[in-house]
Amino acid sequence: MTRLDELDDFTVEVPSWAYGNSGTRFKVFARPGVPRDPYEKLSDAAQVHRLTGLAPRVSLHIPWDLVDDWTDLRAHAEKLGVKIGAINSNLFQEDDYRLGSLCHPDSTIRRKAVQHHLRCLDVMRQTGSTDLKIWLPDGLNYAGQDSLRGRQDRLAESLREIYDALDDDHRILLEYKFFEPHFYSMDIPDWGTSLVHCLALGDKATVVLDTGHHAPGTNIEFIVMQLLRVNKLGAFDFNSRFYADDDLIVGSADPFQLFRIMAEIVGVDAHRPASKVNFMLDQCHNIEEKIPGQIRSVLNVEQALAKALLVDQDALAAAQRSGDVLGAHAVLMDAYETDVRTVLADRREARGLPRDPVAAFAASGYADTVAAARVGGQQAGWGA
Amino acid sequence: MTRLDELDDFTVEVPSWAYGNSGTRFKVFARPGVPRDPYEKLSDAAQVHRLTGLAPRVSLHIPWDLVDDWTDLRAHAEKLGVKIGAINSNLFQEDDYRLGSLCHPDSTIRRKAVQHHLRCLDVMRQTGSTDLKIWLPDGLNYAGQDSLRGRQDRLAESLREIYDALDDDHRILLEYKFFEPHFYSMDIPDWGTSLVHCLALGDKATVVLDTGHHAPGTNIEFIVMQLLRVNKLGAFDFNSRFYADDDLIVGSADPFQLFRIMAEIVGVDAHRPASKVNFMLDQCHNIEEKIPGQIRSVLNVEQALAKALLVDQDALAAAQRSGDVLGAHAVLMDAYETDVRTVLADRREARGLPRDPVAAFAASGYADTVAAARVGGQQAGWGA
Amino acid sequence: MTRLDELDDFTVEVPSWAYGNSGTRFKVFARPGVPRDPYEKLSDAAQVHRLTGLAPRVSLHIPWDLVDDWTDLRAHAEKLGVKIGAINSNLFQEDDYRLGSLCHPDSTIRRKAVQHHLRCLDVMRQTGSTDLKIWLPDGLNYAGQDSLRGRQDRLAESLREIYDALDDDHRILLEYKFFEPHFYSMDIPDWGTSLVHCLALGDKATVVLDTGHHAPGTNIEFIVMQLLRVNKLGAFDFNSRFYADDDLIVGSADPFQLFRIMAEIVGVDAHRPASKVNFMLDQCHNIEEKIPGQIRSVLNVEQALAKALLVDQDALAAAQRSGDVLGAHAVLMDAYETDVRTVLADRREARGLPRDPVAAFAASGYADTVAAARVGGQQAGWGA
Amino acid sequence: MTRLDELDDFTVEVPSWAYGNSGTRFKVFARPGVPRDPYEKLSDAAQVHRLTGLAPRVSLHIPWDLVDDWTDLRAHAEKLGVKIGAINSNLFQEDDYRLGSLCHPDSTIRRKAVQHHLRCLDVMRQTGSTDLKIWLPDGLNYAGQDSLRGRQDRLAESLREIYDALDDDHRILLEYKFFEPHFYSMDIPDWGTSLVHCLALGDKATVVLDTGHHAPGTNIEFIVMQLLRVNKLGAFDFNSRFYADDDLIVGSADPFQLFRIMAEIVGVDAHRPASKVNFMLDQCHNIEEKIPGQIRSVLNVEQALAKALLVDQDALAAAQRSGDVLGAHAVLMDAYETDVRTVLADRREARGLPRDPVAAFAASGYADTVAAARVGGQQAGWGA
Across the 384 residues of chain D, what is the mean pLDDT of every consecutive 10-residue run? 90 97 93 96 98 98 97 97 98 96 98 98 97 98 98 98 98 98 98 98 98 98 98 98 96 98 98 98 95 98 98 98 98 98 98 98 97 94 68
Distance to chain B for A183, nearest Cα, Å: 6
The reported pTM is 0.98
Q: Judge: C252–D25 Cβ closer than 8 Å, yes or no.
A: no
Q: Quick one: which of C193, C80, C62 has its CA closest to C125? A: C62
Distance to chain C for D318, nearest Cα, Å: 37
DSSP state of C190: S
Distance to chain A for D264, nearest Cα, Å: 8
When pLDDT is cut at 50, 70 and 90, the band that residue A1 belongs to is low
In this structure, which amino acid lies at residue A159? L
Q: Determine the Cα–Cα distance for residues B130 and B167; give it in Å rounded to an integer.
A: 9
Tell me which of C384 and C308 has the higher pLDDT: C308
Q: Counting every residue, how long is chain B? A: 384
Q: Chain D residues with CB inside 8 Å of A196's CB? A: 195, 226, 230
Residue C384 has pLDDT above 70, yes or no: no
Nearest to D25 among C23, C143, C241 (CB): C23
Q: Give chain B's end-to-end CA distance (angstroms, integer).
A: 46
DSSP state of C316: H
Chain D: partners with 3+ C-beta pairs within 8 Å: A, B, C
* Residue-level pLDDT at B1: 52
Q: What is the dihedral of CA A289, A294, A296, A302, to 10 degrees?
A: 180
Contact A129, A87 (CB under 8 A): yes
Structure ipTM? 0.97
* Residue-level pLDDT at D210: 98
Q: Determine the Cα–Cα distance for residues B223 and B136; give it in Å rounded to an integer.
A: 19
Q: Chain B residues with CB inside 8 Å of D288's CB? A: 325-326
Peptide bond into B181 cis (omega under 30): yes
**pLDDT for B234-251, tens place per residue?**
999 999 999 999 999 999
Q: Chain D residues with CB inside 8 Å of A329's CB? A: 142-145
When pLDDT is cut at 50, 70 and 90, the band that residue C2 belongs to is confident
Kindly state the helix (H) or strand (E) to which residue C233 belongs, with its residue range.
strand C233-238
- Window 207-266 of D, Cβ < 8 Å to B: 216-217, 219, 242-243, 252, 254-257
Q: If you count residue pairs, one on C and one on D, with CB atoms under 8 Å apart, how many are there?
A: 105
Q: Chain C residues with CB inside 8 Å of B142's CB? A: 325-326, 328-329
Q: Judge: D242–C183 Cβ closer than 8 Å, yes or no.
A: yes
Q: Which residues pair with B280 in a beta bridge?
A: B13, B237
Distance to chain B for C382, nearest Cα, Å: 26
Q: Judge: D217–B242 Cβ closer than 8 Å, yes or no.
A: yes
Query: Domain A7-373 in CATH: superfamily?
Result: Divalent-metal-dependent TIM barrel enzymes (3.20.20.150)
Q: Quick one: which of D143, D33, D84, D65 has its CA closest to D365? A: D33
For the residues A359-370, what does the mean pLDDT come to?
98
Chain A: partners with 3+ C-beta pairs within 8 Å: B, C, D
Q: Judge: B292–D243 Cβ closer than 8 Å, yes or no.
A: no
Lowest mean pLDDT among C336-340, C378-382, D206-210, D251-255: C378-382
Q: Determine the Cα–Cα distance for residues B126 and B94; give it in Å rounded to an integer.
A: 25
Distance to chain A for C42, nearest Cα, Å: 22
* Residue-level pLDDT at A384: 47
Chain C: partners with 3+ C-beta pairs within 8 Å: A, B, D
* Residue-level pLDDT at C1: 52
Q: Quick one: which of A30, A39, A97 has its CA closest to A68? A: A39
Lowest mean pLDDT among A375-384, B314-323, B369-378: A375-384
B147: contact with C, CB 8 A cutoff: yes
* Residue-level pLDDT at B349: 98
Distance to chain A for B242, nearest Cα, Å: 6
- Window 293-322 of D, Cβ < 8 Å to C: none
What are the DSSP E strand ranges found in A98-212? 131-134, 139-140, 171-175, 185-186, 205-210
Q: Judge: B254–D252 Cβ closer than 8 Å, yes or no.
A: no
Q: Judge: D325–B243 Cβ closer than 8 Å, yes or no.
A: no
Q: Determine the Cα–Cα distance for residues D5 and D25; give it in Å rounded to an integer.
A: 43
**pLDDT for C64-112, tens place per residue?**
999 999 999 999 999 999 999 999 999 999 999 999 999 999 999 999 9
Q: How far is CA C168 from CA C52, C121, C163, C199, C205, in A?
A: 33, 12, 11, 17, 12
Burial (CB < 10 A; 0-12, 13-18, 19+), residue D376, is exposed
Q: Determine the Cα–Cα distance for residues C119 and C129; give it in Å rounded to an integer.
A: 13
Q: Judge: A98–B242 Cβ closer than 8 Å, yes or no.
A: no
Q: Chain C residues with CB inside 8 Å of B107's CB? A: none
Distance to chain A for B149, nearest Cα, Å: 20
For the residues C346-372, what does the mean pLDDT come to?
98
Chain A: residue whose CA lies nearest to D228 = A149
Distance to chain B for A153, nearest Cα, Å: 22
Checking DSSP bridges between strand C205-210 and strand C185-186, what pairing results, if any?
unpaired
Percentages (nearest 5) of helix, strand, coil residues in chain C: 50, 15, 40
Q: Quick one: which of A275, A219, A260 has its CA closest to D193? A: A219
R_g of chain A computed on alpha carbons: 21
Chain B: residue whose CA lies nearest to D294 = B326
SS3 A61: strand
- Within 8 A by CB and 6+ apart from B224, the residues are B209, B233, B261, B264, B265
For the residues C15-30, what does the mean pLDDT come to?
94
Chain B: residue whose CA lies nearest to D341 = B337
C93: contact with D, CB 8 A cutoff: yes
Tell me which of D188 and A30 has the higher pLDDT: D188
For the residues C223-230, what does the mean pLDDT come to?
98
SS3 C23: strand
Q: Chain B residues with CB inside 8 Å of D292's CB? A: 326
Contact C33, C20 (CB under 8 A): no
SS3 C333: helix
Q: Where are the alpha helices (DSSP H) in chain D?
A: 38-52, 70-80, 107-127, 148-164, 191-201, 220-229, 255-267, 290-309, 313-321, 325-337, 341-350, 357-364, 366-373
Mutate to test the interface with A, among B22, B25, B64, B297 (most CBs of A within 10 A): B25
**pLDDT for B213-232, tens place per residue?**
999 999 999 999 999 999 99
Burial (CB < 10 A; 0-12, 13-18, 19+), residue B274, is exposed
- Within 8 A by CB and 6+ apart from C348, the residues are C52, C53, C354, C355, C357
What is the pLDDT of chain C when averaged over all its residues? 97
B105: contact with A, CB 8 A cutoff: no
**pLDDT for B86-145, tens place per residue?**
999 999 999 999 999 999 999 999 999 999 999 999 999 999 999 999 999 999 999 999
* Residue-level pLDDT at B384: 46
Percentage of chain B beyond pLDDT 70 is 99
Distance to chain A for D17, nearest Cα, Å: 29
Q: Quick one: which of C183, A104, A152, A106 has its CA closest to D221? A: A152
Residue B344 has pLDDT above 60, yes or no: yes
Nearest to A293 among C288, C326, C358 (CB): C326
Q: Is the dihedral of CA D143, D149, D153, D156 positive or negative?
A: positive
